[in-house]
């Protein structure tokens, strides 16, 4: 066993680091154990004990882009792995940062467009939705912990999985205050977010959402942007929002018109709404 440049311990004979994915440096010679430009991460391998590689999306710039499963949050993400350990000089750091920001804005041809086809849905049962995303103060009051990276009492909760949310909801329901707490279905979420409009958004994006052009690449306290016509805040931007449904890219083609509940099973859950890192598109 020996340590790679990133500090992770790897087995002798390993070509790629299990933590960062970069080419491993030989402990004897100090030279890369394989060509620095050939990452070729094996499908199914796991980076940083969290991201399971599903497929390669493309090569360019300073590294390769992979489609991966975030095993903590249970969602699919795109990961860019540099060809080699990036230089610490300001030019290299600036270039890598610029590439990462640009990648967020791309609609990659190998990534499924999962919000089509457009179709009519009828919501027949009334439901209530919180006016704001769950804040860190609310989460702490229920769970007595705060796993959030960008801390702030009035900032929204982030970095929590669908299963984490189920624990939160169980704690709320155990209080027996007369409400039955759950996540909305995707259809309910979209009905609430649109608030009667059929347009792509319920207002001018800069006025209603925190996204990459106005967020400073961090979350913001809830309720600072304008609400939709239902009085709901931050339905777009700031943080993505979990729905109850399983995800199936073909579900829209066969879903019922009235009160669709999502597929009966699956591997991933639905998230909607975008984040403070996303572009306007």
Return all residues near 256 (Cβ < 8 A) that are at least 6 apart. none
Q: What is the pLDDT of residue 83?
A: 65
Beta bridge partners of 272: 241
What is the rounded end-to-end Cα distance, in angstroms, of the chain? 46
Q: Which residue do the tokens 């909801």 mark? A: 169
Tens of pLDDT, residue by residue, the chain (281 residues): 444 445 556 555 554 555 555 544 444 444 443 333 344 788 888 888 888 888 887 766 667 778 888 888 788 887 777 766 555 667 766 776 666 655 555 544 444 455 666 778 899 999 999 999 999 999 999 999 988 878 899 999 998 999 999 999 999 999 999 999 999 999 999 999 999 998 889 999 999 999 989 999 899 999 999 999 999 999 999 999 999 999 888 888 888 989 999 999 998 899 999 888 887 76
- Nearest Cα to 204, choosing from 233, 223, 226, 234? 226
In a 3-state reduction of DSSP, which class is residue 92? Answer: helix
Domains of the chain and CATH, by start: 2-105 (3.30.200), 136-272 (3.90.1580.10)
Residues 6+ apart with CB under 8 A from 108: 57, 58, 65, 78
The pTM assigned to this predicted structure is 0.69
| Helix or strand run (H / E) with residue 51 | strand 51-60
């Amino acid at each position: 066993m020996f340590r790679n440049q990133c500090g992770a311990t790897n087995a002798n004979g390993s070509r790629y680091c299990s933590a960062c994915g970069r080419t491993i440096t030989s402990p004897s010679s100090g030279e890369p154990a394989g060509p620095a430009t050939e990452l070729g991460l094996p499908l199914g391998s796991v980076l940083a004990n969290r991201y399971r590689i599903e497929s390669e999306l493309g090569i360019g710039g300073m590294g390769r882009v992979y489609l991966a499963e975030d095993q903590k949050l249970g969602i699919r993400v795109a990961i860019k792995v540099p060809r080699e350990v990036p230089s610490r000089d300001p030019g290299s750091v600036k270039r890598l940062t610029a590439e990462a920001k640009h990648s967020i804005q791309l609609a990659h041809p190998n990534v499924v467009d999962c919000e089509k086809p457009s179709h009519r849905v009828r919501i027949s049962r009334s439901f209530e939705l919180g006016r704001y995303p769950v804040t860190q103060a609310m989460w702490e009051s229920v769970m007595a912990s705060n796993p959030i990276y960008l801390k702030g009492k009035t900032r929204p909760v982030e970095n929590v999985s669908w299963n984490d949310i189920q624990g939160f909801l169980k704690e709320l329901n155990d209080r027996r205050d007369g409400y039955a707490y759950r996540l909305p279905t995707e259809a309910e979420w979209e009905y609430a977010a649109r608030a009667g409009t059929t347009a792509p958004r319920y207002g001018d994006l800069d006025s209603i959402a925190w996204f990459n052009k106005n967020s400073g690449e961090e979350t913001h306290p809830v309720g600072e942007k304008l609400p939709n016509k239902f009085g709901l805040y931050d339905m777009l931007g700031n943080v993505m929002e979990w729905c109850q449904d399983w995800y199936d890219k073909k579900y829209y083609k066969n879903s019922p018109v009235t009160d669709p509940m999502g597929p009966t099973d699956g591997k991933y859950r639905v998230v909607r709404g975008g984040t403070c890192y996303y572009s306007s598109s």
